[in-house]
Amino acid sequence: MSISRRDFITSAAMTSLAVGLRAQESSSSAPAQSSPSQTRTVSGTGSGRSKPPILISSANGWNGSDKGYQMLKDGKDTLDAAIAVGKTQEDDPNDMSVGLGGLPNEEGVVELDSCCMHGPTRRAGSVGAVRNIKNVALLGQAVMQHTGHVMLVGEGAEKFGYAMGFPKENLLTERAHQIWLMWKESNSNEDWWGPGLDDPNYHVPGEGGEQATVNTEEMWELQRQRLYDLAERLHVEPEWREFAVNAVLYPPHGTIHVSVLNEKNEMSGMTTTSGLAWKIPGRCGDSPIIGAGNYCDQDVGSAGATGSGEENIRVAGAHTIVENMRHGMSPQEAGFDTLKRIARNFNNDMNKLRYVDMEFYILRKDGAYAGVSMWSGAPGRPRHFCVHDGSKRLEPCISLYQGAALDYPPHSRMRSRAAAK
Ligand code: GLY
């Protein structure tokens, strides 16, 4: 079935809270970006206190956390342990949120961001908008270890990587390329991508379109079905089509953060990402920003983030959390205060905040930890994070607001209708 991009614009008006819930179930949570069929049990309270070693991470740290935990047990460096968890996902082409297989920018080019902090030496390293190098967490560590700088970006970071022996690799997998093509073809009405006037199924918006005959929910189903059809036509594997459709409609941020504490009370933290899907080339979110995507002071604790990078940068989230704990707050209190600062930046306007997806992962030097989120998640699918203290588990994030965030962006016709009311 051919698809008119104009059909998408016409029918893109269709959304509702139910729609947001449905999409959120599969589009934004970290595991869904790494394995479309994966479901794991989430249990516990979202905060606690463990004896070191302990490792906490975003949920997509699950696969690598056994290795990271073992490295802590074996007395390996704390940052090496944290990076080992991130590297597991960077190397995995099925994780479309980081490294190889990450979703690309609007030009179809994968650009990666990462930063790290090493508690014992109080050093930091960071890279932003790096192309063609898969293991940017290690590259950030190399900036820390082998330069007098803290942050390198773009071409300079890439050249530095080659000088340090990092291999040049094509990071755009066939699957990520197919999903980018879906986005390109379906989401634009201002260029020549996608079927045009000569397409047999093209019809002028408003003339004999579906809007007159079907209700909002049916239009939404039609729109999603068209995207599924497009996914099939572009040969996206069947088990990835749900992910692909959601990624086209609601560009994910996908990221992995890891914070660790060892038996010597040493701490480190690391964050790595392919950033916001379909971003403007050169865009960096919070993940390469020391103090936003990641901050560690082993006198106090370590914290990191996934979610809306732009919102997190505006509150220097990870640094704010560590400073809150320095002044006596628990991990949960420190995280909630930071989420409230994001809410304050929107004057607590829930019409906007319902689109803000934000999670913080927090570990204090005494082994107290918490995962906090702006929204609790869809029914039966709570926001969650990974804890490994000898027992590996997923715990639900403690959330500021109940319910699921709506996936961003809201469709333009919905916005104009809302404005007209
Ligand atoms: N939090 C990841 C990003 O916004 O790029």
Measured CA to CA, the distance from residue 367 to residue 364 in angstroms comes to: 5
Handedness of CA 345, 348, 352, 357 (dihedral sign): positive
CA of 276 to the centre of ligand 1 (A): 6
Sequence-distant contacts of 120-124: CB under 8 A, at least 24 apart: 120/77, 120/78, 120/266, 120/268, 120/298, 122/297, 124/150, 124/290
Residue 213 has pLDDT above 60, yes or no: no
Q: Is 307 in the pocket of ligand 1 (CB under 6 A)?
A: yes
Q: Each residue of 150-189: pLDDT tens digit?
A: 999 999 999 999 999 999 999 999 999 999 999 998 876 6
CATH classification (class only), 5-27+48-172+251-401: alpha beta
In this prediction, residue 190 has a pLDDT band, given cuts at 50, 70 and 90, of low
CA of 4 to the centre of ligand 1 (A): 31
What type of residue is 216?
T
Residue 32 has pLDDT above 80, yes or no: no
CA of 254 to the centre of ligand 1 (A): 7
Of ligand 1's listed atoms, the one at least distance from the Cα of 312 is 1
Q: Is 252 in the pocket of ligand 1 (CB under 6 A)?
A: no
CA of 410 to the centre of ligand 1 (A): 19
Measured CA to CA, the distance from residue 88 to residue 60 in angstroms comes to: 10
**What percent of the chain is predicted at pLDDT more than 70?**
82
Beta strands in 183-266 (DSSP E): 255-261
Q: Is 276 in the pocket of ligand 1 (CB under 6 A)?
A: yes
Select from 221, 237, 130 the least CA-distant residue to 179.
237
What type of residue is 138?
L
Q: Each residue of 313-342: pLDDT tens digit?
A: 999 999 999 999 999 999 999 999 999 999
Which is it for strands 112-118 and 123-130: parallel, antiparallel or unpaired?
A: antiparallel
Of ligand 1's listed atoms, the one at least distance from the Cα of 308 is 4
Measured CA to CA, the distance from residue 87 to residue 65 in angstroms comes to: 11
Measured CA to CA, the distance from residue 61 to residue 299 in angstroms comes to: 24
Contact 59, 384 (CB under 8 A): yes
Q: Which of 312, 314, 342 to mutate to test the pocket of ligand 1 (most atoms within 8 A of CB)?
A: 312
Of ligand 1's listed atoms, the one at least distance from the Cα of 284 is 5
Measured CA to CA, the distance from residue 369 to residue 47 in angstroms comes to: 5
What's the confidence (pLDDT) of residue 413?
40
Domain assignments of the chain as residue spans, ordered by start = 5-27+48-172+251-401, 174-250+411-420
Q: Is 309 in the pocket of ligand 1 (CB under 6 A)?
A: yes
What's the confidence (pLDDT) of residue 189?
60
Q: Each residue of 61-102: pLDDT tens digit?
A: 999 999 999 999 999 999 999 999 999 999 999 999 999 999
Residue 217 has pLDDT above 90, yes or no: no
* Mean pLDDT to the nearest integer, 229-258: 93
Q: Is 58 in the pocket of ligand 1 (CB under 6 A)?
A: no
* Mean pLDDT to the nearest integer, 35-44: 70
